[in-house]
A = this chain, B = another copy of it.
Amino acid sequence: MARKVEVADLVDRARERQPRAVARLISLVEDASPQLREVAAALAPFTGRAQVVGLTGSPGVGKSTTTSALVAAYRAQGKRVGVLAVDPSSPFSGGALLGDRVRMQDHATDPDVFIRSMATRGHLGGMAWATPQALRVLDAAGFDVVLIETVGVGQSEVDVVALADTTLVLLAPGMGDGIQAAKAGILEIADVFVVNKADRDGADTTARELKYMISLGRREIRGASWRQPIVKTVAARGEGVGEVVEAIDAHRAWTADHGEFEHRRALRARTEIEAIAVETLRSRLGDLHGGDALDRLAKRVMAGDLDPYAAADSLIEGVQRD
């Protein structure tokens, strides 16, 4: 049997809602297979339609439970939903508490829900590379909404924001999140705040602190200002999830009216193109002189007879000569 996959056929089948074809396409783009470029080209005409929602927050705030509840809410609207879990601690990635697994399995048998963990590759760099490609597959396969769940720390937040039309930041009472949020710059990336586990003590305090911080740091976009809503939820019981969906829709409408939607989409495309170009150049740097060039330069830098800038210049010259 021929090993070569018929890409056009796979894309057709993915667009006919065959989960296996979707999974196969994601694997092809994730693994940077030789057919990656062929897949990317075949997907391009069908992309740009899915609504992309990012969810981020510290471990323990209930991201996966909220994701699961949002899937149910969108399914109730008849929408097809894709989930990309870019979070090594997510139950979607295998580290499940039993309750989460059961909730997730509600959706596992639904052909109009597709859940994929992007965390199995084990390192953030790999996820940052693979996630936009997986998003393009789900988008082309006709999923109306794609939820991207990520652990709320550092670079992974930034990456989610770059991909999402709307970013939810989740907090929970009593985790000192209010202060942490301000420090980590989470205020700036949130389009909608969700205070989950709102049946617990301290939920009102968390919401109040958040409201105060928002009032200090209001964002202006093209002269207008999006007022970041704070929605209280008990995602495990589905409470408040309808309001989260409404808040997402309101944000989507607002961004469309203010040119922000197009702006974010353009930024997403730019970021993706640039990341691919940089990675391509990086791998060429590594390949120079049979992969030896970098090692030889590193030895000279260690010995102190070359500085790293001069070494980098010499490496780049090699790429340009090729």
Instruction: Answer yes or no: A280 CB below 8 A from chain B CBs.
Output: yes
B309 engages A59 (CB within 8 Å)? no
Stretch from A45-53, A61-69, A190-198 that touches the partner:
A45-53
Known A-B contacts A154-B155, A155-B155; A89 and B183 likewise in contact (beta carbons under 8 Å): yes
Q: Does A10 contact B (CB under 8 A)?
A: no
Q: Which of A105-113, A218-226, A240-248, A270-278 contacts B (4 or more CB under 8 A)?
A: A270-278
| A306, CB-defined interface residue at 8 Å | yes
Indicate if the CB atoms of B45 and A308 lie closer than 8 Å: no
Give the most central of A308, A313, A319: most B CB within 10 Å. Answer: A308
**Dominant SS at the A interface?**
helix
Question: With A299-B266, A301-B272 known to touch, is A312 a contact of B184 (CB < 8 Å)?
Answer: no
Contact A308–B272 (Cβ < 8 Å): yes
Q: What is the total number of copies of this protein in its complex?
A: 2
Enumerate chain A interface residues (CB-CB to B < 8 A). Answer: 36-37, 40-41, 43-48, 59-60, 88-89, 95, 122, 124, 132, 136, 151, 153-156, 158, 176, 180, 183-185, 265-266, 269-270, 272-274, 276-278, 280-282, 285-286, 294-295, 297-299, 301-313, 315-316, 319-320
Can you spell out 23 A-B residue pairs with CB atoms less than 8 angstroms apart? Answer: A36-B309, A40-B308, A41-B309, A44-B301, A44-B306, A44-B307, A47-B304, A48-B303, A88-B185, A124-B154, A124-B155, A153-B153, A266-B298, A269-B298, A272-B301, A273-B308, A273-B315, A274-B294, A276-B311, A277-B316, A280-B312, A280-B313, A280-B316
6 more contacts with CB within 8 A, not counting A154-B154, A273-B312, A280-B313, are A44-B306, A48-B304, A89-B183, A132-B308, A155-B155, A281-B319
Neighbouring B residues of A176 by C-beta, 8 Å? 60
**Candidate in A156, A176, A274, A316 with the most chain B CB atoms within 10 angstroms:** A274
Given A48-B304, A309-B40, A278 and B285 contact (CB-CB distance below 8 Å): yes
Bound form: Cα–Cα A156–B153 in Å: 10
Shortest beta-carbon distance from A297 to chain B in Å:
6
| A285 with B277: CB separation less than 8 A | yes
Inside 8 A of A308's CB, which chain B residues have their CB?
Answer: 40, 132, 136, 269, 272-273, 276
Closest to A93 in B: B183
Given contacts A48-B302, A89-B183, A184-B88, contact A307 B43 (CB under 8 A): yes
When C-beta atoms are compared, the residue in chain B nearest to A310 turns out to be B41
Decide: A37 near B309, CB < 8 A? Known: A281-B316, A298-B269, A302-B48: yes
